[in-house]
């Protein structure tokens, strides 16, 4: 089995990564950074987001595992003290994997620039560079609302516990193939009106954001930030691609939600 390790780069994560390599040397693993079957991310959720973007061109052939060296993560759910059992479980292939939905974003430009296709594991947010963010929100080709406020957050089910949650969005089980649109500080008064609630769209529905006047935006995709100019439209839907997580023990999603937010 071909394995790649991505680490956060801090001392604790590098120590854990070195230990992993040592344990793996007792089995028939091949370290292969370019074409791994398994990517072990050592650090936190941010490290797994980085690993996802590094290997998003080979999602069909790669499964991810996260080890956390800080607090319990949503993606990084193995403890450094469990490394030996993780390596033994990995060596006893075939392993079971679960697939989680991803968000596909396509940005089209009015200046002839080639369209941009983006995959997000957590979410994509869109805000204005300056001033109030104003955008027409179309769902399935029909105008739904003209949004005015700070921005919009479009998240995946596994990303629903991240930024989306801080915006009052619902937590969605990742077995649901959907995306969620959450508002950031919408302006609601006698003149301007938005729905005010997070929306959950099934995989058959597409949401299109169309600029009303300002065409320059700040977009974040997971941990990354990008400035977009001359935007014609931003299309969001559930991606055809999925991410696979290698599962060696049961750790139900709702237990992770409870352990992260309640206990």
Please select the residue that binds ligand NAD; options are 20, 59, 105, 162, rule is CB under 6 A. 162
**Beta strands across the sheet bearing 178-184:** 199-202, 178-184, 151-155, 123-128, 217-221, 224-228
> 83-112 mask for ligand NAD (x: CB under 6 A)?
------------------------------
Q: Is 122 in the site for ligand NAD (CB under 6 A)?
A: yes
Closest CA to 244 of 120, 103, 96, 104: 96
Distance between CA 165 and CA 143 in Å, rounded?
26
Which of 37, 45, 77, 222 is catalytic? The answer is: 45
Chain residue at closest Cβ approach to ligand NAD: 46
Q: Is 46 in the site for ligand NAD (CB under 6 A)?
A: yes
Q: Is 180 in the site for ligand NAD (CB under 6 A)?
A: no
Beta-carbon count within 10 A of 201 CB: 18
Please select the residue that binds ligand NAD; options are 159, 169, 174, 211, rule is CB under 6 A. 159
45 is catalytic: yes
Q: Is 253 in the site for ligand NAD (CB under 6 A)?
A: no
Cα distances from 93 to residues 29, 88, 178, in angstroms, run 11, 9, 31
Number of chain positions touching ligand NAD (CB under 6 A): 16
Please select the residue that binds ligand NAD; options are 45, 77, 145, 183, rule is CB under 6 A. 45
- Take residue 88 and report the two structure tokens written for it: 């033994």
Near ligand NAD in 190-219, by CB under 6 A: none
Q: Give one DSSP letter per residue of 43-66, joined into a string.
A: E-HHHHHHHHHHSGGGTTT-EEEE
Q: Give one DSSP letter per residue of 158-195, joined into a string.
A: GGGGTHHHHTTPPP--TTS-EEEEEEES---SSS----
- Give 110's contacts (C-beta < 8 A, 6+ positions apart): 215, 230, 231, 232
Q: Is 80 in the site for ligand NAD (CB under 6 A)?
A: no
Residue among 133 and 163 whose Cβ is closer to ligand NAD: 163
Residue among 29 and 163 whose Cβ is closer to ligand NAD: 163
- Give 23's contacts (C-beta < 8 A, 6+ positions apart): 83, 84, 87
- Take residue 168 and report the two structure tokens written for it: 């009052």
Please select the residue that binds ligand NAD; options are 64, 100, 133, 163, rule is CB under 6 A. 163
Near ligand NAD in 215-244, by CB under 6 A: 222-223
Cα distances from 45 to residues 55, 66, 88, 167, in angstroms, run 15, 8, 23, 19
Residue among 203 and 260 whose Cβ is closer to ligand NAD: 260
Please select the residue that binds ligand NAD; options are 41, 62, 69, 161, rule is CB under 6 A. 161
Active site (catalytic) residues: 45
Binding site for ligand NAD (CB under 6 A): 44-46, 49, 73-74, 122-123, 158-159, 161-163, 166, 222-223
């Amino acid at each position: 089995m071909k394995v790649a390790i991505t680490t956060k780069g801090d001392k604790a994560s590098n120590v854990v990564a070195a230990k992993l390599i040592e344990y793996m040397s007792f089995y028939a693993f091949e370290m292969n950074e370019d074409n791994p079957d398994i990517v072990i991310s050592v650090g936190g959720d941010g490290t797994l987001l980085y690993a996802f973007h590094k290997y998003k061109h080979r999602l069909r052939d790669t499964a991810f595992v996260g080890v956390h060296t800080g607090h319990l993560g949503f993606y990084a759910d193995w403890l450094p003290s469990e490394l030996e059992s993780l390596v033994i479980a990995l060596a006893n292939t075939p392993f079971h994997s679960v697939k989680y939905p991803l968000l596909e974003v396509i940005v089209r430009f009015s200046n002839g620039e080639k369209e941009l296709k983006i995959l997000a594991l957590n979410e994509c947010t869109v805000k204005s560079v300056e001033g109030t963010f104003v955008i027409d929100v179309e769902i399935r080709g029909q105008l739904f609302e003209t949004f005015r406020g700070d921005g919009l957050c479009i998240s995946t089910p596994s990303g629903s516990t991240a930024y989306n949650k801080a915006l009052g969005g619902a937590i969605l089980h990742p077995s649901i193939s959907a995306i969620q649109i959450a508002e950031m500080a919408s302006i609601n008064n006698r003149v301007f009106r938005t729905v005010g609630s997070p929306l959950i769209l099934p995989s058959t529905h597409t949401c299109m954001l169309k600029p009303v006047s300002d065409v320059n935006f700040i977009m974040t995709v997971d941990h990354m930030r990008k400035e977009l100019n001359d935007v014609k439209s931003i299309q969001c839907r559930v991606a055809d691609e999925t991410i696979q997580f290698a599962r060696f023990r049961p750790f139900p999603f709702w237990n992770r939600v409870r352990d992260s937010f309640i206990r």
